[in-house]
Amino acid sequence: MTPKYTLKIHHKVEKQLQRIPKKQQERVVSSMRSLRDDPRPSGCIKLEEGLYRVRQGQYRIIYAIFDNEIVVVICKVDRRSEDTYKNLQTLLTRAENVLGQKD
């Protein structure tokens, strides 16, 4: 049995979620929670080393997987646009910073 991953969320993601209409927000949050059981679901796309994205309707959930620590860090939730995939290295750094924080 594969271990359940810990889900961590960058503080900016909370603000991004607040801008999403309630109905879609519930679906996005449900999708994020499902990453605890399967961080690489079918349909996920590897963006670069350690960084992935899944679609939830018109929104994209960009997250990092740290297999050694059994942690998934949600870096960004956004509608698909030209800017969605800019600065991926910044998002990976953001995820590493969240990982380094103690609860």
**CATH number for the domain including 96?**
3.30.2310.20
How many domains in the chain? Answer: 1
Strand order in the sheet with 71-79: 6-9, 71-79, 59-66, 51-56, 45-48
Q: In which residue ranges of the chain is pLDDT below 50?
A: 103
pLDDT score, position 102 = 53
CB 39 within 8 A of CB 32: no
User: In this structure, is residue 1 part of a structural domain?
Assistant: no
Residue 18 lies in a domain: yes
> Given this model, what pLDDT does residue 2 score?
66
- Pairwise CA distance, residues 79 & 75, whole Å: 14
Q: How far apart are CA 21 and CA 23, in angstroms?
A: 6
**Model pLDDT, residue 1:** 60
* 41 within a domain of the structure (yes/no): yes
Q: Is residue 91 classed as helix, strand or coil in its secondary structure?
A: helix
Per-residue pLDDT at 94: 87
Q: Is 21 within a domain? A: yes
In a domain, 34, yes or no: yes
pLDDT for position 103: 43
What is the per-residue pLDDT for 101? Answer: 74
Asked if residue 91 is part of any domain, the answer here is yes
